[in-house]
Amino acid sequence: MNAPFEPVTDLCDFVPQTAAFAAESEAAQAIHRETPGRTSRAGDAASAATLLERVFDVSFAVLDAEAGACIRRPSDLPDMDWDLFAAIARPLIGSRTPILIVEEDPLCVLAVPLQGRSRSCVAAAPLVTRRPEPQADWRAAARAAGCPPAALAEWAARQRAWDPEAALRVAQLALEHDFQLRRLADVERETDELSFHLSSVYEEISLLHRLTQNLRLSKSDVELARSALDWLAEVIQAEGLGLLFLPVAEAVEEHGTVTRTKPELLSVGRFPFSAEEVRRWGETMRLAELGGPVVRNLAPDEAARSEYPGIRNWMGVAVTEGQNLFGYFLAVNHARGGQFGTVQANMLHSVASILGIHGGNIELYRQQAELLAGVIRALSSAIDAKDPYTCGHSDRVARISVRLAQDLGYSAEALTRVYLAGLLHDVGKIGVNDAILQKPGKLTEQEFDQIKTHPTTGYRILSELRDLDDVKQVVRHHHESWDGRGYPDGLAGEGIPPVARIVAVADAYDAMASTRPYRNRMPLEKIEEILRHGAGKQWDPAVVDAFFHAKDDIVKITEADEINSLSFPTLAFGKQS
């Protein structure tokens, strides 16, 4: 290949070539980085042999020592018996040590085991061991190599001479260098895979963190799901995402909780399915029974025959918690034309699990709210049953209290608590003698003292209900006076719980506006006069002001013929916050 030169007798003589040897490492490294893309054993071995060719400046054949055949014959080498060399090289299978398989002065054949995909591949090349004389006899070397003497002599005249021992040592160095390049390529590939995995895990953890930060019972599953869809669309690389929520109850609840009574489909991107199609798909795939994500990447012919021709791939999972099925999560078509895999499926499953847990908590809260509403309804009915003259009083006080709280700027969530407090404010009257409650005449001092026990009795009745801690304070203190002359604890001014001050005005108004055993209802003008006179003495002036501001709505409440308990109709009046 190049002009002849003096033999290399040792590695020290090879120093002038070390710069060229190092310069080839980057090219060899790039070659080995492509290893995963190679499909044939010959191509793998040939790429590995490239480094040897650049070091020795001679072409190498690639042999299959196990099959005893040559799988790559360089055209610039003499036509040698490569199949024979392959058979001779059989001891090199699985080895990492080069050997000389032919030694016939002035020729040797170097065989180097290749560390590619196959353990049986060997690179082999003839080397000239000394500068031959012009009339040298090449017949013996030609017989050993299995080629014509003239062709061998012509080829040898263009080669560099190598000392056999030095050639073996250099081949061993090249072999070690190739091994290190392969290890480096493997490490880089593993690093890339680990980096991709860590990136995916980080995205999943970030998404789940954002979701868990929004897990509040006051936030519905649909609200949380909308946020989840928007965030998931950023990382899952799907053209369309859809989440179907199934109905929770068959009818609207009567206790003020928000309950889903029909399917609701949320989607982002190009999502081609209706709510009914998603439901049928989830049931057909038995997602609730499987419990985990299902991924399907369709072949082109499958996609063409599909019921939905535009769908190339999809993945889905049921949104569940225990035995409760809340809906189905479906992602369609990889946005980059690729395929869905475990990373995307696990992320979808994790989000579905959080939504399922949140839905389960909301369902449990709904059931508890139903139970609490039933208890409150029973208590309210028991109070009304004690005195037919005060039937509906608790509900009216609750509604009037809500209307006053609206005018004072209470939030929608707080209005629910105000309503409960108004509804239960007289629960302690269960412990008061019926004869006293229904007495048509004036009460004695002892009888009035018994009446005055109902706030503390009501407080004790509700004492074990931790969910009603704020309501209990209203029950206890709704007969306190702004000037401190009320009962049972003689609280005054700002020391009285705010909602108790509201209920006190609502209670006084409804009592005066209702017919009692001992008197008829008062005229509205008289009631207004009493309230104005008592502002700053018996009642909070701000609450009395709210009464006059909302007077028209409050009159409607007291004059309503039909009472729909626990449905919060007064929330329709005035402003809401």
Section 226-232 average pLDDT: 81
Look at residue 388 and tell me whether its pLDDT is greater than 80.
Answer: no
Section 129-158 average pLDDT: 88
Look at residue 12 and tell me whether its pLDDT is greater than 80.
Answer: no
pLDDT of residue 26: 37
CATH number at residue 346: 3.30.450.40
Instruction: Give yes or no for a contact between 550 and 407, defined as CB atoms under 8 angstroms apart.
Output: yes
Amino acid at 90: R
In this structure, the answer to whether residues 292 and 410 fall within a common structural domain is no
Average pLDDT taken over every residue of the chain: 81
> Would you place residue 178 in the very low, low, confident or very high pLDDT band (cuts 50, 70, 90)?
confident
Assess if residue 203 is contained within a domain.
no
Assess if residue 200 is contained within a domain.
no
In this structure, the answer to whether residues 473 and 327 fall within a common structural domain is no
In this structure, the answer to whether residues 173 and 224 fall within a common structural domain is no
In this structure, the answer to whether residues 393 and 343 fall within a common structural domain is no
Look at residue 489 and tell me whether its pLDDT is greater than 60.
Answer: yes
Instruction: Mention every residue, 6+ apart, whose C-beta is less than 8 A from residue 2.
Output: 57, 158, 159, 160
In this structure, the answer to whether residues 272 and 357 fall within a common structural domain is yes
HSE, side-chain direction, 13 A CA sphere, residue 428 = 25
Domains contained in the chain, number: 3
Q: What is the pLDDT of residues 440-460, one digit of tens each?
A: 778 888 988 898 999 999 999
215/353 Cα distance (integer angstroms):
13
In this structure, the answer to whether residues 402 and 548 fall within a common structural domain is yes
Range of the domain at 162: 11-187
Q: What is the DSSP string of 32-96?
A: HHTGGG---HHHHHHHHHHHHHHHHTS--EEEETTTTEEEE--TTS----HHHHHHHTGGGTT--
In this structure, the answer to whether residues 30 and 77 fall within a common structural domain is yes
In this structure, the answer to whether residues 286 and 421 fall within a common structural domain is no
Which of 569, 529, 533 is CA-nearest to residue 403?
569
In this structure, the answer to whether residues 475 and 338 fall within a common structural domain is no
Give the highest mean pLDDT range of 342-351, 355-364, 372-381, 472-481: 472-481
501/481 Cα distance (integer angstroms):
8
Q: What is the pLDDT of residues 320-329, one digit of tens each?
A: 888 889 999 9
Section 246-254 average pLDDT: 62
pLDDT of residue 493: 95
CATH number at residue 509: 1.10.3210.10
Q: What angle (nearest 5°) sits at the alpha carbon of residue 87, between those of residues 86 and 88?
A: 90
State the helix-helix crossing angle for 469-477 and 498-512, rounded to 10 degrees. 50
Which residue shows structure tokens 């699985």? Answer: 94
